[in-house]
């Protein structure tokens, strides 16, 4: 607590009060911007800004957690069923990877505060590797779901397959009564005739589509009334032994809503991981000696290229694999060319030290927030009882 009072009193410090703008400490320390009185004040302002940003991040994820809570409250059985298709051990592995990378990040902050240049670099690279590890595991998970019919597209209204139908059905989607008509007709064993639906393909699809359209658009609870009760009972009776492929179409699409929430939450989270990795790479470059930066700079895009190769191998996608090889190869050659070109004469230290470590600190806060969000996502998505 002592440093808090020190920081808050420093602007009124007589040394600074007299110096004013253009004081000689600006010459001594290029890291303090001219509109700040002291490093303490600058660090404090930066941290405050970062915390406000983190609060907005939490609020943004709060919207997704809200969607999760409402849908789970209305359809606990769908969640209990669908989470069996998530691999708990892979989720736990990712949790451990993220926690470990949080540890190395916190250690990197410590190293930068103490001016340990080499240890700082090692910690940052380890954190970066943690990010890659997380994405590698995530790729395996996403790929497995994509190959078992649980990917985002196939049951999604915005999938190209549905675009033509959607145009036909516009009137139908606007009027909810007709959805019920269609459902009643199906319940009584007759094909729906009204509702402006004339093509046979559309009439068989109709009731099922209305079942997914409802929870996505209106209050999620609406779907409970529309769902065919016999289907619901069949699913309940069968319990978890029923495989996804054997489910009635309406149930499959309800399960899809779980997966869409899953993809939105984990996808947004993975996006944050990728963003954090770029920021950490920026730190790696700045923490390195200026003479080393010329070969470090192409390293990260090259690593991204290798990651693309990995994604290509996992998803059996030759295009992704080739683009990864091209990126990694070109950047590797570029790095070699640059290293050969100029001798590293500069032996200065990296940018960070005891007097200047705010970037490490603030990127660290971001990385820990990513970890925090995963700490909540993991039990909520993977560990439903």
Partner 1 sequence: MSQSSEHHDTAGHEGFHPHVVSPRVLLTVFGILLVLTMLTVAVTKIDLGKLNVWIALIIAVAKAGVVGLYFMHLRYDRPFHGIILVVSLMFVALFIGIALMDSDAYQPNLQGKPAASEAMP
Sign of the CA dihedral 150, 152, 157, 158?
negative
| 307 near partner 1 (CB under 8 A) | no
**Where does this chain touch partner 1 (CB under 8 A) — which range of 106-114, 232-240, 251-259, 312-320?**
106-114
Residues 118, 148, 164, 229: which binds partner 1 (CB under 8 A)?
229
Residue appearing with tokens 């911007």: 33
Sign of the CA dihedral 267, 273, 274, 275?
positive
CA distances from 314 to 86, 149, 154, 268, 382 (A): 17, 16, 20, 21, 22
CA distances from 49 to 41, 91, 241, 372 (A): 12, 32, 51, 19
Is the Cβ of residue 88 or residue 346 nearer to partner 1 in the bound state? 88
One DSSP character per residue, 264-281 reads HHHHHHHHHHHHHHHHHH
Number of residues that bind partner 1 (CB under 8 A): 88
| 270 near partner 1 (CB under 8 A) | no
| 349 near partner 1 (CB under 8 A) | no
Sign of the CA dihedral 320, 325, 328, 333?
negative
Provide, rounded to whole angstroms, the least separation between the CB of residue 69 and partner 1.
Answer: 5
Provide, rounded to whole angstroms, the least separation between the CB of residue 193 and partner 1.
Answer: 18
**Where does this chain touch partner 1 (CB under 8 A) — which range of 9-17, 264-272, 283-291, 339-347?**
9-17
Is the Cβ of residue 7 or residue 320 nearer to partner 1 in the bound state? 7
| 2 near partner 1 (CB under 8 A) | yes
Residues 101 and 130 sit within 8 Å (Cβ to Cβ):
yes
**How many other CB atoms are there within 10 angstroms of residue 287's CB atom?**
30
**Where does this chain touch partner 1 (CB under 8 A) — which range of 67-75, 198-206, 243-251, 303-311?**
67-75
Per-residue binding string, partner 1, 181-220, x by CB under 8 A, is --x-----------------------------------xx
Provide, rounded to whole angstroms, the least separation between the CB of residue 315 and partner 1.
Answer: 28
Residues 299 and 335 sit within 8 Å (Cβ to Cβ):
yes
**Where does this chain touch partner 1 (CB under 8 A) — which range of 48-56, 165-173, 204-212, 234-242?**
48-56
């Amino acid at each position: 607590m002592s440093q808090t009072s020190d920081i808050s009193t420093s602007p009124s410090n007589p040394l600074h009060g007299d110096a004013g703008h253009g004081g000689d400490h600006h010459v001594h320390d290029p890291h303090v911007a001219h509109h700040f009185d002291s490093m303490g004040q600058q660090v404090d302002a930066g941290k405050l800004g970062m915390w406000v940003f983190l609060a907005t991040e939490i609020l943004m994820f709060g919207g997704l957690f809200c969607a999760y809570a409402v849908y789970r409250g209305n359809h606990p059985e769908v969640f209990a069923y669908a989470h069996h298709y998530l691999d708990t051990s892979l989720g736990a592995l990712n949790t451990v990877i993220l926690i470990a990378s949080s540890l190395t990040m916190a250690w990197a902050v410590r190293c930068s505060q103490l001016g340990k240049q080499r240890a700082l670099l090692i910690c940052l690279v380890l954190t970066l590797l943690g990010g890659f590890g997380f994405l590698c595991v995530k790729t395996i998970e996403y790929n497995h779901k994509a190959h078992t019919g649980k990917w985002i597209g196939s049951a999604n209204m915005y999938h190209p397959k549905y675009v033509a139908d959607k145009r036909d059905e516009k009137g139908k989607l606007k009027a909810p009564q007709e959805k019920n008509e269609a459902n009643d007709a199906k319940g009584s064993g007759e094909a729906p005739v009204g509702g402006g639906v004339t093509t046979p393909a559309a009439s068989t699809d109709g009731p099922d589509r209305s079942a997914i359209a409802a929870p996505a658009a209106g209050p999620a609870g609406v779907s409970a009334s529309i769902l065919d009760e016999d289907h619901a009972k069949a699913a309940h009776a069968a319990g978890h032994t029923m495989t996804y492929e054997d489910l009635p179409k309406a149930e499959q699409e309800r399960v899809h809503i779980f997966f869409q929430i899953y993809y939105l939450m984990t996808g947004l989270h993975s996006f944050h991981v990728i963003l954090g990795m770029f920021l950490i790479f920026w730190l790696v470059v700045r923490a390195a000696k200026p003479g080393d930066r010329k070969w470090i700079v192409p390293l990260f895009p090259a690593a991204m290229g290798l990651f693309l190769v990995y994604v290509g191998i996992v998803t059996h996608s030759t295009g992704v694999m080739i683009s990864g090889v091209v990126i990694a190869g070109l950047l590797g050659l570029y790095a070699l060319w640059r290293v050969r070109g100029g001798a590293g004469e500069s032996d200065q230290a990296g940018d960070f030290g005891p007097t200047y470590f705010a970037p490490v600190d603030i990127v660290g806060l971001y990385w820990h927030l990513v970890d925090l969000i995963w700490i909540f996502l993991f039990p909520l998505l993977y560990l439903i009882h």
